[in-house]
Structure formats: C-alpha cells, structure tokens
Chains A and B, each alone.
Chain A
Amino acid sequence: MNKLFKVLLFLAFLWVLSYGIAYLFFTDTTISSEDTIAVIPINGMITLNGESTLLQTSTSAQSIVDKINEASTNENVKAIVFEINSPGGTVMGSKKIANAIDNIQKPTVAVITEYGTSGAYWAASQTDFIIADELSILGSISVIGSYLDFSGLLNDHNITYQRLVTGDYKDLSTPYKELTDDERELLMLRLDAIHDFFVEDVAEGRSMSREELDKLSEGLFYIGLDSIDIGLIDGLGDKDTAIEKAKELSNITNGEVTEYAEEESWFDSFMTYSAYSSFHIGQGIGSVILNPESNQDIQINI
C-alpha cells in the first residue's frame, strides 16, 4: 500500500474512533423516567424543510413536527416545553408547527428567549402558557411579501424584460417589471387573507377576541415587559421557569428533562466547530497579548 493510502486509512480510522466514542459516551435517546418534560427547541428562520444557504441557516418545520409527534406519543413525556428563539419564517412552515402544537393533548409551555416574532409567535400562541424574558422581542403579528424591484435598474442599463406569458398574472411579483396597481391589489388581497388566517389562529390560541388582537396585529413587535398586560404572554422568566410551569401543569414534582436537540448536517457541525476553534485560538492569542501581567517571563509590547 502506498503512503497516501495508509495515511487516508489512518484518518478514516481516527474518524470512526471519534464517532464511536461520541456515540457510546454521549448519546442517550431513551426516555427512561416515567415523568419527563420534553424540551423542543425552535431556533432560527422557520422553513418547511429546513433549506439553508451560505449566509443563513433555517430550521425545518418537518423535523420539529417529528419531534412533537415523538414527544406526544411517548407515555413517559408528561409535558412539552418549546424553547423559541426565532424571527419567524415561511407561512407553510410556521402553520405546520402551529397546527402540530395545537393538536398536542399534553400540557405545553413556550419560552421565548431572544426572539419570538411572526411565525414563531404563531407557534407559541398555540401553547397553554407563554413565558418570555422582560426584554424578549415578540409579536410582529403580520405578513410580509416585500421584494426588490429591479425594473428601474434594468431600464437604466438598457436591459429589456421580454414578457412571454400565457396568463396575465403569470409573472406577478417578478422583480424585473414594475408592479401595476391592479397587481398590487391582487397581491395585497392574498396577503390579507393569510394575515386573517394568522390573526384568527393566534386569537384562538390566546383566547382573545379578534378585535383585541387586531389592535396588536399591525406588525409591531413588543418586548416581554409590556406583553403581559396586553395579553401576548402569561409570565416572565426563562427556560427553568418554563420547565417548572410545565411540571405544575402536568402535576408532577420531580421530573426529568429531555432535550430534543436539533439535528444538524455534518457540514453545519464542521463549520460550527471550526468557528469555535478559531474563536478559542483568537482568545488564547488575545489573552497573551492583552494580559502581560499574567505572563511575567514574557513581555510583548505593541
């Protein structure tokens, strides 16, 4: 065997060894305790199937619904806590999660950490109890369909959009031509329909009247401190508060907590840990340079 092959063989062995050690020592997917509180995270932009780009990762509504189904059907799970830090996402993704939460037959608690806006708040509104930090940002109960119109830019550069469609509205909202008043009205009708559906569902989830919620559905976001009085949340606190509330709602005193960690791709794992490595290298270098008192034998002057 040549040298390169032997090196690759060793690297493969090392990878398998690392994976094996990690799997043996750190995975425990069984819920053994009879009284368990399941914690399901909802982080990042919500999309139906979790499509990610170089600049943005998203969370898959389908994977969250799978976790919900697993927790719902597990007899040992007595209540479910949703740990939310999301600005919202696509209509279908958010609706899928909200519907799944609404169908849970066990006590549910949502805890909003940094963000719980738009579609993420839609999901939270379907739980039995919402907790947020005083400064959490939540609400933004409205729909957005904005896009960039490049028609002017194309005109300035003498680029023509050749319109070849078989239906008048086939290229509705294409960025290459200006939106007509007629088209704008059509788009707004559809956005209004989605908005109505969204607000109706949130009102039902929060046991509020449609009139009450309409006043809060202008797209404005609210902070946790103001949200109790207006009915968007039920209490202030953090994840621990939410877990205690879940125990209270399910009448258990000493329950175990099981986290349903988000699955990430190998690429995501690699990029995450490369970032951590870089951070720690920088932290190490910075600590040597910026704290000369702690290294009395070596002085570095900048």
Chain B
Amino acid sequence: MYTLELKVNGQPYKVEVKATANLLEVLRDKLGITSPKVGCETGDCGTCSVILNGKLVKSCLVNALTAQGAEVLTLEGLGRPGALHPLQQAFHEHYAAQCGFCTPGMIMAAKALLDENPQPTKEDVKHYLSGNLCRCTGYVKIVDAVMAAAEEMRR
C-alpha cells in the first residue's frame, strides 16, 4: 500500500491505496465521495468525470498515485441544497436528468467547458460532452441546460 495525499473539494485527505487503484475507487470507496459513478470503467461513458488540477478527466482511467498532491473537484464541491451551482440549477429547471446516473459526469464536463469557454455555442457544448453518455433522456435538454447556465453565469 502507498500513501496518497490529495485535496478533494478543498479538503485535504491522506489515504492508503494500492498501486493499481484508480482515482474513482479512491474517491468512492476510501473517501465516501459518491457523485462520480462507476459506469464502464473503460473510459467510454464519462459518468466518473471529475476535474483534476483544473482539467476534465475520466477518474476511472486515472491511476490514483498519479494524483499525488493533486486538487480534485467533484459535484459535491459545486453546490449544495439551497445553494446550487448555476449548472445544477439549470439541469433542475430544464429537466436535464432522467435517471440521474450520468448527471454528475455531465455537470463536471460542462463545468470544465465553462471554465475554459464562458460563451460556448451549442456545438461547443456537444463537443465537450461527447465523452459522456446518457442512456435515458437524450441530450437536447442537457445541452439546453448548459447553454442556460452559461448565460446565467455571464450575468
């Protein structure tokens, strides 16, 4: 086992991990941070997306020890009940979730996009969310929600 120190949503953690552990299992199983979901574990579905040192990543493909000293942002770090992040509020208002399993990953991908480009076109949004799969509601409302959040955040 190896000692991994990292910050998640501003909070420092120190955990013992195996050399083969991925960041997703560390977040969920060691730290109890469960918004990143276990979908495919092959990097195809995007439901484990988090922001690592300012960059969007699929946490199932990040070897945990390569995140030594890193700062990780998950959905838990965006907002909370009563004080939602504009993206969370927009997903809520635009009915952009059905079963909700892909939603944390969608919102983190959208957050990474808006950090980089506060004025995206619909095409930009579609491109940036292209690594995230939704298997129930489709993508129209999700794209609408991201566009609305971008507008709200520019005010």
Question: Are A and B physically bound partners?
Answer: no
Q: B: which residues have CB within 8 A of A?
A: none
